[in-house]
Amino acid sequence: MTESLPTIGGLKDKIGVEWPLGVYEIEKGMIRRFVQAIEDPNPLWQDEEYAARSQYGGIVAPPTFIMTIGFEQIQKLLAASSGTLLHGSTELECYQPLRAGNVITATAKVANIRERPGKMGKMTFITFGISYQNQRQELVAKCRQMVISY
Amino acid sequence: MTGQLYYQDIAVGDEITPLVKQPTSRQLVMWAGASGDFNPIHYDKDLALSRGLPGVIVPGQLAGCFLGQLITDWIGDGGRLKKLSLSYKGMNLPGKTLTCRGRVTKKYLEDSEHYLVCSLWVEGAAGEKTITGTAVVTLPSRG
C-alpha cells in the first residue's frame, strides 16, 4: 500500500486527503514485544488467565500501543526527503480497548503544514490525523501526530 | 497491581504515584523493533551529533509510553485511559534516569461516567520537564 503515499513535496497539495497506511493484525506476540520494549509488566497485556478474569475478558494492548501503528509508514515517507525528523507531539483518543485478534485499518491524512526558519535551516511542522478502525468498521482510536522535519 | 482506585478516593491536586525509568540503548533497540520506528537519531550516535543533537536520543513516544504506564498502573484494571496528549519538549538521553509524574487537575461526571483530568510530565535527571502532557481517564465509582 506504500506506493499510494504522497511524497513530502506533494503533501501541501494533499491536505485533508486520506490515504491508507496499512492493515495490521494485532497478535499477542506483537503486544508482548511492545510491552517488553517499554518494560511494562502489567499482567493485562500478557497473562491470558489474568486478563480473562478482568473487565476486558482477554488480553488487551496498552492504550499507547496504537499510536505506533502506521506511524512507521509516516516516518518512512518523510525520511525519504528529510534531513532530520523529530517528533513534536501526539494526541491520542481511545474509544475501545485494542484486543489481540483485532484487525486494524489505519488511515492517515495531513491536517496541516507550517514552515518557519530555525537554527538548522527551514523547519517544516507537519500534523497528521490518523484513524484506526477494527474489522467491524468500528472506530477504535484517533491520533494526531506532529512531526518536525529539517 | 495494587487495589483498585475509585473516583471517590481522588481529590483535585492529588499526586499520581511516580514511575522511575532508566532507558538504555538496549531498550532503544527493542523499541525500534517493536514500534517499527527506525529513525537513525535513536541509534546512530555520529549521525545524531552531525544533526546538532546531544547524541542518540530516546524516542519521544517511548517516553510517552512510560507516561501511559504511569496512568494505567495508577487507574488499575477498572479505569480507562480516554485521551493522552503529549508534547515532546526536550531531549532524553539513554542511561539517564527519567521520572514520570502527574497530578489530578479536574474531576467531573459526564454521561454517568466518572472522569479525571491529570497533568503529566517526564522529569529529566536535572529536574527539567522533557515531556508535558494531559490524560483524561475514567474510574469506577463506589456504591
Q: How confident is the model at residue A120 (pLDDT cuts 50, 70, 90)?
A: confident
Give the per-residue pLDDT at A7: 65
Which set of grid coordinates corresponds to residue A46?
500478557
Is pLDDT at B143 greater than 90 in this prediction?
Answer: no
Whether B58 and B28 have beta carbons less than 8 Å apart is answered as yes
Using CA coordinates, name the residue in chain A closest to B84. A92
pLDDT in tens, B78-119: 999 999 999 999 999 999 999 999 999 999 999 999 999 999
Return the domain boundaries, chain B.
Answer: 10-23+59-139
Is pLDDT at A9 greater than 80 in this prediction?
Answer: no
Is pLDDT at A14 greater than 90 in this prediction?
Answer: no
**What is d(CA A115, CA A148) in angstroms, rounded to the nearest whole number?**
9
pLDDT in tens, B120-134: 999 998 999 999 999
pLDDT in tens, A34-78: 999 999 999 999 999 999 999 999 999 999 999 999 999 999 888
Q: Which of B37, B62, B87 sits opposite A89 (nearest CB)?
A: B87
Q: How confident is the model at residue A5 (pLDDT cuts 50, 70, 90)?
A: low
Is pLDDT at A4 greater than 80 in this prediction?
Answer: no
Which set of grid coordinates corresponds to residue A68?
505506533
Residue A15 is assigned to a structural domain of this protein:
yes
Q: Does B30 touch chain A (CB under 8 A)?
A: yes
Whether B72 and B3 have beta carbons less than 8 Å apart is answered as no
Give the per-residue pLDDT at A3: 44
Is pLDDT at B3 greater than 90 in this prediction?
Answer: no
Q: What CATH number is attached to the domain comprising A128?
A: 3.10.129.10
**What is d(CA B16, CA B69) in angstroms, rounded to the nearest whole number?**
12
The C-alpha R_g of chain A, in whole angstroms, comes to: 17
Q: Which residues form the domain of A95? A: 2-26+65-149
From chain A, the residues in CB contact with B122 under 8 A are none
Residues 6+ away with beta carbon under 8 Å from B62: A37, A38, B23, B27, B28, B31, B35
From chain A, the residues in CB contact with B51 under 8 A are 83-84, 120
Residue A35 is assigned to a structural domain of this protein:
no
**What is d(CA A67, CA B143) in angstroms, rounded to the nearest whole number?**
35
Which set of grid coordinates corresponds to residue A90?
501526539
Helix/strand/coil for A4: helix
End-to-end Cα separation, chain A, in angstroms: 26
**What is d(CA A108, CA B130) in angstroms, rounded to the nearest whole number?**
27
B3 vs B23, residue with greater confidence: B23
Residue A110 is assigned to a structural domain of this protein:
yes
Q: Does B83 touch chain A (CB under 8 A)?
A: yes
Nearest-CA neighbor of A110 among A22, A21, A16, A9?
A16
Residue A12 is assigned to a structural domain of this protein:
yes
Residue for grid cell 486478563: A51
Residue A100 is assigned to a structural domain of this protein:
yes
Residue A135 is assigned to a structural domain of this protein:
yes
With residues binned 3-state (H G I as helix, E B as strand, rest as coil), the percentages for chain B, rounded to 5, are 25, 35, 40
Give the per-residue pLDDT at A2: 43
What is the number of structural domains in chain A?
1
Give the per-residue pLDDT at A91: 98
Q: Which secondary-structure segment (H or E) carries B28?
A: helix B25-35
Fold of B10-23+59-139: Thiol Ester Dehydrase; Chain A (3.10.129)
